[in-house]
Structure 1
Amino acid sequence: MSPDRAVLQRALDRGEREGGSVEFKERLRKDLHLSDGRRESLAAQLRHRVLSGDGEATYVVGVTDDGGLAGVPPAEFSESMDVLSLLAEEAGAHIDEVQTWSVDDAGARAGTDVDVAGAQAGSGSATDDDDSADGIVGVATIQEGAVLETDDEHIVVGTAGHVDHGKSTLVGSLVTGEADDGEGATRSYLDVKPHEVERGLSADLSYAVYGFDGDDEPVRMQNPHRKTDRARVVDESEKLVSFVDTVGHEPWLRTTIRGLVGQKLDYGLLTVAADDGPTKTTREHLGVLLATELPTMVAITKADLVSEERLAAVEREVETLLRDVGKTPLRIGRHGVDAAVDEVGDGVVPVFVTSSVEGRGLDALDEVFRRLPKTAGDDGDFRMYIDRTYSVTGVGAVASGTIMRGEVEAGDELLLGPMPDGSFREVEARSIEMHYHRVDEAKAGRIVGIALKGVDEADIERGMVLVPADSDPKPVREFEAEVMVLNHPTRIGDGYEPVVHLETISEAAVFHPEGGQLLPGDKGNTRVRFKFRPYLVEAGQRFVFREGQSKGVGTVTGVHTDDD
């Protein structure tokens, strides 16, 4: 019997009894169980179960009153979780976790451990369209206390740097407070895939989080293999620091750009290994950070591997690199943390010397992250560009990304799109999770997963947006922009076709420069047209474009819609 199956068996063995914390439900329906009188009665029953279990109750859905495995169709299981969530809220509690199994004639088959909203989780074993399963049975854990409420003390930091320059290891040491073993062990505390751990390379964006409590003490990760540990960090912290860890390998520059351009970042952290020094990739990543006008810091890593003379030489190289792009380096060892907090951004780039093996410089980074304010504004209506999608058993489609502005609450009616034909689809935010912790609402800058009702996961694509249902978004196929060519072997002429990276959009586009051409180093205006489909674009958004060794940055100055 698998561990997952054992969870279900234990709940069935404990049984539904008076004064116990286990409750059996075949299904829960909105029209029946939320009707007048019934809702209050069921909420009181749930409260009784929670109190009986010293703050925790277990609801088994998809079983009969005597514990028989009945199973319910995926769509009805999702509705049952919606109803259970509302009942828990009324009882001063919340759903902490849901585990599900498919049911066939032979009984329950082991399923997949999933979250209520499934943020940054893997796919479950069945979806709303899975006809292979007779039904679903699930075990929901109900915890006493309201769903976590978030505040504005949450900064998001994007990391960049050449492959093997210690980016992920540094972040892993920060979120755990542990020294690395010299082989990158602490990077396992990030959201990385097994093949990435095995190879020691990141192939996609990964995420990490730590925080500070009310006494300004760090709240760190303890177990990389438990998503509940990440939820604990979120729950115990007064201030959160989330990391979006990008990819250092040159072939995956596109993914790095997506991480730095497509997230609502507050700060950038560029790593440079002391044994290697700045590289071509270092310069490219610094260019992307500066193109997004992100307040940036530099961490010189692997200080334990070199002499003090070599370390001083690399510091000078970094300072020269920063001055070459018009920035003022600020050595933390000379000027201190106070100066870094006060002056980061506005042309000043603090430079730290660190070693994840010896712990050197980590206290200074902790102190800076604890004191840095949030920079990303949240004015305007809710908008989230989608970065990832999942399909989670019993929940359905989940869209993950960083909220660019505004805020969203569970139950909000939203629009998703544009679809390839330019239309938008009505959906509902069924539930929201942030770092595996369910929340009632989330604001600009939060990295979240939103479970969506009214759409299949297959119909959601990276680059689409979620906006309020009462908004009137217009799909954009063509826009005007002011651009600067950072690198190009010859000239950019009419019909030039790079890939445009704007928010989470990565799409081939055609340039029509004003005057017919742009030369390296030139700044000018151009009309840009997406080749294959429309997106939601607005004036003021910044973007990066690239094609081969050619790279540039731009700002949207105007858009063309079908109404024009």
Structure 2
Amino acid sequence: MTGHMPDYTMLMVGANMGIIGTTKEHLSLALSLSVPVTKIDMCPPQILEETMKNIGRLVKSAGARKLPVMVRNTNDVIHAAVNFPSKRVCPIFQVSNVEGTNLDLLRQFLNIVPLRRTLCENDPAHFQIDDVYWVEGVGTVVSGTVLSGTIKVNDTLLLGPNSVGEFVPLPVKSIHRKRMPVSSVRCGQTASFALRKITKREVRKGMVMLDPRMNPVSSMMFEAEILILHHPTTIKPNYQAMLHIGSIRQTATLVSMTKEVLRTGDRDRVMFRFIRLPEYIRPGTRMVFREGRTKAVGTVVNVIPQATLAQQRAKLKDKTNRT
């Protein structure tokens, strides 16, 4: 959910099975969503009614705090789509994939609900790496999503951050989209790039390729506003768990927070520090904090730049010259 940055999320609940397993966790994780209730053709009326009541209670609970809206006709679709960006409503569709019941309403909703993000092809290029491959006869290949700008064959982009937080210039040898060679890709599209002069072990998931004009800096620490979805006890400073930010997957330490302890349902502004490697992150990016089950969701609000190895050497050299 963080890696592909969806505009919206749908949680599907089987009318005959109801709320089972990780449904509650998925609902808490997808705080803005619509809920199609499937298999209504094979479900007795009393079971369907009980499932709908349970979904309504879950949507209204402290973890979600949304208003459930049952979509039964085109007017309901328009009302739900218009109010959906407010993040206060949760549209619910009763559908059957066998009989096709209400699938037209779900399609109408998906067609008219507005995009949450504005994609601009004229912005500096930003490519997020989701996977790394080695292809015989081609070399190192990375796949991912163009988050902004337009990227063309033979463009030189900055790849990083590496283990010391630096970005290195690399040309894009070729571009493939949906298994077909193309000359360029633009924001919002997924693609694969063949890279020159670099081995597979030098590239990892979570790295980015950026327009040199962006002058990127890496970070080991950042501030975020988080909501604790579920934790059986309390969370205190030095608590560690896995962070998901875009395609980044790395363990981080909760360094500081404004409250003494955090419990389920609490909101706070906290400071995180990555355990192993510096990363490239931007304010406004959504994040998930988990340890087994999802613990918290939030948004990056401030990034603390890290001095690169070259900058550290320059400072040390300047200090030595002064003495």
Whether TM-score is above 0.5 comes out as: yes
1:308 correspondence with 2:52: no
- CA change 1:304–1:394 in 2 (3 A) is farther
- CA change 1:435–1:375 in 2 (3 A) is farther
Matched with 2:67 is 328
1:474 correspondence with 2:211: no
Q: Which one-letter code corresponds to 2:52 in the other structure?
A: E
Q: Which one-letter code corresponds to 1:543 in the other structure?
A: M
Matched with 2:106 is 365
Contact 2:244 2:287 in 1 (8 A): yes
SS in 2 for 1:539: coil
Give 4+ residue runs of structure 1 displaced > 4 Å after superposition: none
Relative to its length, the structure with more helix (as a share) is 1
Q: Which one-letter code corresponds to 2:171 in the other structure?
A: E
1:497 correspondence with 2:237: no
Matched with 1:339 is 79
- CA change 1:549–1:365 in 2 (3 A) is closer
1:234-265 CA distance string (max 9 Å, x none): xxxxxxxxxxxxxxxxxxxxxxxxxx111131
Moved more, 427-436 or 319-328: 427-436
Contact 1:518 1:524 in 2 (8 A): no
In the TM superposition, what is the alpha-carbon distance from 1:446 to its structure 2 partner? 1.8
| Equivalent residue pairs, number | 301
1:233-252 matches, cutoff 5 A: none
Equivalent-residue separation in structure 2 for 1:326 and 1:304 (angstroms): 30
In the TM superposition, what is the alpha-carbon distance from 1:280 to its structure 2 partner? 4.8
Question: Which runs of 5 or more structure 1 residues have no equivalent in the other structure?
Answer: 1-259
SS in 2 for 1:322: helix
Question: Which runs of 5 or more structure 2 residues have no equivalent in the other structure?
Answer: 309-323
Of the two structures, which has the highest relative contact order with CA contacts closer than 8 Å and spacing of 6 or more?
2
Contact 1:494 1:516 in 2 (8 A): no
Matched with 2:275 is 531
SS in 1 for 2:116: coil
Equivalent-residue separation in structure 2 for 1:433 and 1:285 (angstroms): 33
- CA change 1:375–1:356 in 2 (3 A) is same
Equivalent-residue separation in structure 2 for 1:351 and 1:550 (angstroms): 24
Q: Which one-letter code corresponds to 2:43 in the other structure?
A: V
Q: Identify the match of residue 56 of structure 2 among 319, 327, 339.
A: 319
1:561 correspondence with 2:298: no
In the TM superposition, what is the alpha-carbon distance from 1:549 to its structure 2 partner? 4.5
In the TM superposition, what is the alpha-carbon distance from 1:437 to its structure 2 partner? 4.1
Q: Which one-letter code corresponds to 1:272 in the other structure?
A: V
In the TM superposition, what is the alpha-carbon distance from 1:480 to its structure 2 partner? 2.1
In the TM superposition, what is the alpha-carbon distance from 1:418 to its structure 2 partner? 0.8
SS in 1 for 2:12: strand
Contact 1:398 1:451 in 2 (8 A): yes
Q: Identify the match of residue 287 of structure 2 among 539, 543, 546.
A: 543
Q: Which one-letter code corresponds to 2:70 in the other structure?
A: R
In the TM superposition, what is the alpha-carbon distance from 1:424 to its structure 2 partner? 1.7
Q: Identify the match of residue 198 of structure 2 among 455, 464, 469.
A: 455
- CA change 1:353–1:410 in 2 (3 A) is farther
1:278 correspondence with 2:22: no
1:59-458 matches, cutoff 5 A: 260-290=1-31, 294=32, 296-324=33-61, 325-334=64-73, 335-346=75-86, 347-379=88-120, 380-458=123-201
1:31-42 matches, cutoff 5 A: none
In the TM superposition, what is the alpha-carbon distance from 1:489 to its structure 2 partner? 2.1
- CA change 1:531–1:353 in 2 (3 A) is same
Equivalent-residue separation in structure 1 for 2:222 and 2:283 (angstroms): 9
> TM-score of the superposition, structure 2-length normalised?
0.84
Contact 2:259 2:268 in 1 (8 A): no
Q: Which one-letter code corresponds to 1:279 in the other structure?
A: I
Q: Taking every aligned residue pair, what percent have the same amino acid on both sides?
A: 32
Contact 1:264 1:444 in 2 (8 A): no
Contact 2:132 2:204 in 1 (8 A): yes
RMSD: 2.4
Matched with 1:511 is 254
Relative to its length, the structure with more strand (as a share) is 2
Equivalent-residue separation in structure 2 for 1:283 and 1:405 (angstroms): 33
In the TM superposition, what is the alpha-carbon distance from 1:317 to its structure 2 partner? 2.2
Structure exhibiting the larger radius of gyration computed from Cα positions: 1
Moved more, 277-286 or 528-537: 277-286
